[in-house]
Amino acid sequence: MNPLQASGIRHRYGTFELNVDQIELTSGKVTCIMGRTGSGKSTLVRILGCLERPQHGVVQHAGGKHDLVTALQKAIMWQGSVQENVEYGMKVRRIGKRQRRSRAEDALDALDIYELASHDVRTLSGGQTQKVALARAIVLDPEVLLLDEPLAHIDQESARTIATTLKTFTSRTGCATGWVTHEVNEALGVSDYLAVMDDGRMMQSGQTLDVARLLGGHNIIPAKIESCVGGLATAAVNDHRFEVVTDLVAATEVFLLVRPEELTLSQDQQPGSSPRNHFEATVTEVTWHGAVATIHLKNDFSVTAVVTRPALEELGIILGTQLWVNFKATATSVIPRS
Amino acid sequence: MHALRLLLDGDPYTLEVIATSLKISAVSLAIAIAIGLPLGLALGMTRFAGKGGFLVLVNSAMGLPPVVVGLFVFMALRNDGPFGQAGLLFTPTAMVIAQVPLAVPLIAGITMAAIAALHPDIRLQARGLGAGRIQQARLVAREARPSLVAACIAGFGITISEVGAIIITGGNLLVGGHNYTRTMTTAIVQETRQGRFDRALAFAIILLVLIAIVNIFLTRAQTRR
């Protein structure tokens, strides 16, 4: 049995109705609950975290209430130091002072905020506060960890570090992590399982890649990480080398996910431009959708791009045209193939 | 100067009046805090049907006229009243009974307002980290501590400076040459009526100094981390 599963959840407030037939969190895996603002993600997390009782349906979790930890979207701090805040959950669990201190220090260290331990929480920035909230949650080493928008208010660099920390924490401790986000790239980048919500309903759920395929709209390119330094990696796709943002180690088999809107087309390679990745491909198909055309291109792998009519005319695109395809390292989501 | 002389000379009457004032005020305040703080916390933290009516009741009770409360307590404790047999009228206990209903709504009302000013999800987050109901209440009280101390300061203010209710229920009595139910406030009334203005002024100054001293301690507790 998975450590947390819920079924038949129906919950209405005002005109909004949450309607989720089935969701479960798996040990050692990150399950992302993704959806637009107002799609019901946060309500679902509160219900899964037993913070709100659903009007209908059942939430089952294997452990006791202390094995289930929820970090709300707004990182609410209590008065006092960072260390005191991180120790709060352990104090509630009546864990001894010495152990509290040592575990809090480890958690702060993992989130790279060890030096803030003695700081008053009121002096922290939004990003630092968010990190403290996460440290306060992971320090409890729970069986189920629910995180509502954990990377909100955090700069890109820190977000990457935190995502890696939380992923590592999940797989190392066997914790079942539920992760709410409205960012597609964040969801694709961190999740093993993905549940997509819209208007209170679960639209798709399953393994991340399967859901990404089902949802469509992404170019999915099999690749292998060749090297990784400081969060910037080189991924090999046959003879091509692409720069991507990930902490995955060399030799990891991955899929690169790039949205068609993120691909730009040009007649030349355009060195010196901000997109770090370029490859040459041949147009194999052009489909019109009003003023926008979907262009299918083929090298030794296929991709799809979208362009407007003026752009298409300017580039002289017809079947068989050779073009350069460009995309930014930051526009690419990297999902381990395993 | 006269006030200082009364204190420094160890005037027994003055010291007895001060002691009675502090004793009655302390007991009333302790009981009012014991009732008012949990009541305010409970009202601030819970949702139940009819809560709005309850809040109106508490807020209205904050403006209770002391003489009216004194009159009700007097009626209840007089010989032919419902609690007349207890023989409490014109005793310090009767004065405490009259003061508690004045201080409780004030303490509960300020506590309630303090809880309402906290982030609405503070308890939810504590619960998300595994805190039980009592642990959540303790956290909320800790977060609202400055306001809760303010509630206690307000409670102390009303119990130490109250005169209308306690003069009715206590009677402002000296028994066998010793003070029994006379406090500094009722003594000020008494001395003023009898034209001993210097003594009345002396009590007034002592009362103000005592209030200042107690509030210094309470304010330190309020601002301490």
pLDDT at A41: 92
Residue of B nearest to A70 (CA): B128
H helix runs in chain B, sequence order: 2-8, 12-45, 51-61, 66-77, 92-117, 122-128, 133-143, 145-161, 164-170, 184-193, 197-223
Hunting for tokens 């407007």 — which residue is that? Answer: A308
- Chain B residue numbers with beta carbons less than 8 Å from the beta carbon of A70 are 125, 128-129
The mean pLDDT value for B156-185 works out to 91
Inter-chain CB proximity B119 and A71 less than 8 Å: no
B223 CB within 8 Å of a chain A CB:
no
Partner-chain residue, chosen from A76, A88, A92, that has the shortest CB–CB distance to B121: A76
Please tell me whether residue A198 adopts helix, strand or coil conformation. strand
The mean pLDDT value for B33-37 works out to 96
pLDDT at A37: 84
Inter-chain CB proximity B131 and A92 less than 8 Å: yes
Task: State which residues of chain A have pLDDT below 50.
Answer: none
Give CA–CA dist A60/A25, Å, rounded.
Answer: 11
pLDDT tens, B40-66?
998 888 888 888 888 889 989 998 999
Bridge partners for A81 per DSSP: A120
Inter-chain CB proximity B128 and A49 less than 8 Å: yes
At what angle are helices A156-173 and A126-138 packed, to 10 degrees? 0
Inter-chain CB proximity B129 and A92 less than 8 Å: yes
What end-to-end distance do the CA atoms of chain A give, in Å? 22
Inter-chain CB proximity B130 and A93 less than 8 Å: yes
Percent over 90 (pLDDT), chain B: 63
pLDDT at A216: 66
B125 CB within 8 Å of a chain A CB:
yes
Residues from A contacting B (CB-CB < 8 Å) are: 46, 49, 51, 65-66, 68-72, 74, 76, 78-80, 88-89, 92-93, 136-137, 140, 146
Bridge partners for A198 per DSSP: A201
Hunting for tokens 């009516």 — which residue is that? Answer: B53
Assigned token pair, A279: 């490859």
Chain mean pLDDT for chain B: 90
pLDDT at A224: 92
H helix runs in A2-96, sequence order: 41-48, 82-92
- Chain A residue numbers with beta carbons less than 8 Å from the beta carbon of B139 are 78, 88
Measure B7 CA to nearest chain A CA, in Å: 43
Inter-chain CB proximity B129 and A65 less than 8 Å: no
pLDDT at B123: 92
Global pTM value: 0.75
pLDDT at B3: 66
B198 and B140 Cβ atoms separated by less than 8 Å: no
B120 CB within 8 Å of a chain A CB:
no
Q: Is the pLDDT of residue B171 over 80?
A: yes
Nearest to B127 by CA among A251, A50, A217, A199: A50
Q: Is the pLDDT of residue B2 over 80?
A: no
Partner-chain residue, chosen from B129, B142, B225, that has the shortest CB–CB distance to A89: B129
pLDDT at B1: 67
